Amino acid sequence: MKTTLSILFIIGTVVSLSVLFYYVRFDFEADKIFLSISTFLFSIFTSFFISRQASRFNRVRERVTEFGGKMSSIYRSSGHISKELQNSIGKVVLKHYKKVLSSGEWDIHFKDKSTTLKDIHGLLDTYVVDAEVTKLSNQALGSIVKNLAACQDIRKQVVTLSKERIPKEQWILILFFAAMLVSTVSTIESGSLVFASILKSAFVVSVISVLYILYKLNNLVYSESIMGQKSCEDVLEIIKGTK
Instruction: Give residue-wise pLDDT tens across range 181-225.
Output: 988 888 888 777 788 889 889 999 999 999 999 999 998 887 667
- Give the pLDDT confidence score for residue 100 in this predicted structure: 86
Domain borders along the chain are 27-203+210-240
Alpha carbon of 136 to those of 85, 96, 117, 142: distances in Å?
15, 28, 23, 10
Report angle CA 223, 227, 233 to the nearest 5 degrees. Answer: 125
Contact between 151 and 67 (Cβ < 8 Å) = yes
Per-residue pLDDT at 3 exceeds 80: no
| pLDDT tens digits, one per residue of 31-89 | 778 888 888 989 998 999 999 999 999 999 899 889 999 999 999 999 988 899 999 99
DSSP state of 81: T
- Give the pLDDT confidence score for residue 131 in this predicted structure: 61
- Give the pLDDT confidence score for residue 1 in this predicted structure: 58
Q: What CA–CA distance (Å, rounded) separates 47 from 53?
A: 10
Where b means 16+ CB within 10 Å and e means fewer, 196-226 reads bbbbbbebbbebeebbeebeebbebebeeeb
Alpha carbon of 15 to those of 6, 93, 155: distances in Å?
14, 49, 46
22-31, 94-103, 177-186: which range is least confident on average? Answer: 22-31
Q: How confident is the model at residue 25 (pLDDT cuts 50, 70, 90)?
A: confident
- Give the pLDDT confidence score for residue 224 in this predicted structure: 65
Per-residue pLDDT at 133 exceeds 90: no
Q: Which is more confident, 121 or 231?
A: 121
Backbone region of residue 98 per phi and psi (left: phi > 0; alpha: psi in -120 to 50; beta: other values): alpha
Alpha carbon of 29 to those of 25, 32, 33, 114, 200: distances in Å?
10, 9, 11, 58, 14
Alpha carbon of 105 to those of 59, 219, 221, 224, 229: distances in Å?
18, 12, 10, 12, 10
- Give the pLDDT confidence score for residue 121 in this predicted structure: 92
Q: What CA–CA distance (Å, rounded) separates 166 from 164?
A: 7
30-44, 82-96, 112-126: which range is least confident on average? Answer: 30-44
Contact between 63 and 154 (Cβ < 8 Å) = yes
Report the chain's mean pLDDT, rounded to a whole number: 86
- Give the pLDDT confidence score for residue 15 in this predicted structure: 85
Per-residue pLDDT at 4 exceeds 80: no
Query: Which amino acid is located at 237 in the chain?
Result: E
